[in-house]
Amino acid sequence: MAKAAKKSKSSIAASPAASAGKVPVKGGTRVAGESGSSGAPGINIGIDRADRAAIAEGLSRVLADTYTLYLTTHNFHWNVTGPHFNSLHAMFMQQYTELWGATDIIAERIRALGHYAPGSYAEFSKIATVPDVPQNPPKAMEMVRILVKGHETVSRISREFIPVAEQAGDDPTADMLTARCTVHDQTAWMLRSLLEE
C-alpha cells in the first residue's frame, strides 16, 4: 500500500529544500552521519529514516552557523573598546551565553534523530554560512553591524528548514527552529537599534 504524502502545516511557501524533500548539501559536504549500532534497537519515533537524515543535515547547518556566531560574539566581548565598552561588553556576554546554550539544544536534537552532530572547526567551516570572526577586531559599532548580519543569517537559515521539519511531521524540530528565529530576530533588532542616530 502506498504511503500517503505528508503535508506541510506551514503557511510559508516551501523552500527548494522543502519541495525536494531533502536539505541541499553545501559545497558537496555531507554532515550528520547516521549513528547507532547493530546492538541497539532501530529508531521508531514516527519520522522515517530519509526525513530524519534531511532534518539532521539542516540542523547541522543551523548548528554550524550558531556556533560560528557564538564564537564571534564571544570574541567581540573580549575585544570591544571605546566609549560603549561597558554596555557592549555586558550585552555581548548575555548574547554569547544564550548562543552557547542553543548549540547544545540543536546538537542534542540531531542526536535524538539518530545522527551524529558535527563538532569540529573543520566541519563547521565547510557548512557555515555565517562568516568567521574578523582576524583584527573591528571598531565597536562595526562589531554590532557584523552581529546584526550574523543573527539575521541564522534566522534565515533556520526558517529555511522549518517546512522540511513540518513536512516530515517533526513538530519538536519545527518548534525549536521557530523559537530560534524569535531569538535571532529580536537580538538583531536590539543590535540594529544601537546603530540608529
Domain 47-194 matching CATH 1.20.1260.10: the answer reads yes
CA dist., res. 194 & res. 197, Å (int): 8
Residues 20-32 have a mean pLDDT of: 51
Q: What is the DSSP string of 59-72?
A: HHHHHHHHHHHHHH
pLDDT, residue 45, reads 85
81 vs 36 pLDDT, higher one: 81
Among the ranges given (14-28, 42-56, 134-148, 166-180), the one the predictor scored with the smallest mean pLDDT: 14-28
Nearest to 140 by CA among 186, 60, 76, 44: 76
Residues 174-192 have a mean pLDDT of: 98
Distances from the Cα of 28 to the Cα of 100, 110, 126, 159, angstroms:
27, 20, 9, 22
Per-residue pLDDT band for 196 (boundaries 50, 70, 90) equals confident
pTM equals 0.83
**Displacement of CA 138 from its chain's centroid (Å):** 24
pLDDT surpasses 80 at 37: no
| Residue range 65-112, pLDDT digits in tens | 999 999 999 999 999 999 999 999 999 999 999 999 999 999 999 999
Mean pLDDT for the chain overall: 86
